[in-house]
Amino acid sequence: QGQLVDSGGGVVQPGRSLRLSCAASGFSFSNYGMHWVRQAPGKGLEWVAVISYEGRLKFYADSVKGRFTISRDNSRNTLYLQMDSLTVEDAAVYYCAKEGMAMAGPNYFDYWGQGTPVTVSS
């Protein structure tokens, strides 16, 4: 019953910024940790970042640490990913994903957004 809708992707030049959004519905958004996962063209899945249900804890993949910022607005049921200093290696489809267990530590993803593509090109 849960639904996640990703948006905000597009074409951006190297070194520029982009902000992705993920609108959630059909579940108690404020009770679940949320993640971003990306997939470069023709490649596998890469976990990017997580934010805890209340927004207090955040962790990042080494490949994006210091450049990407995950955040959430529980009043708007929306997850964000601010991506700065983008490089060609960041080009991918970005998915938001919901944890399956509420208010828990790291766990599986039971709902995924449809993905939003990011192209980094001059």
Footprint of another protein (CB under 8 A): 35, 37, 44-47, 50, 59, 61-62, 95, 100, 105-110, 112-115
Q: Is the dihedral of CA 118, 85, 50, 46 positive or negative?
A: positive
Tell me whether residue 9 or residue 113 sits nearer to another protein (CB atom). Answer: 113
Order of strands, sheet of 3-7, starting from the edge strand that comes earlier in the sequence:
3-7, 18-25, 78-83, 68-73
CB 61 to another protein: min, Å: 5
* Closer by beta carbon to another protein, 17 or else 107: 107
Question: Min. distance of Cβ 15 from another protein in angstroms?
Answer: 25
Beta-bridge partner residues of 50: 35, 59
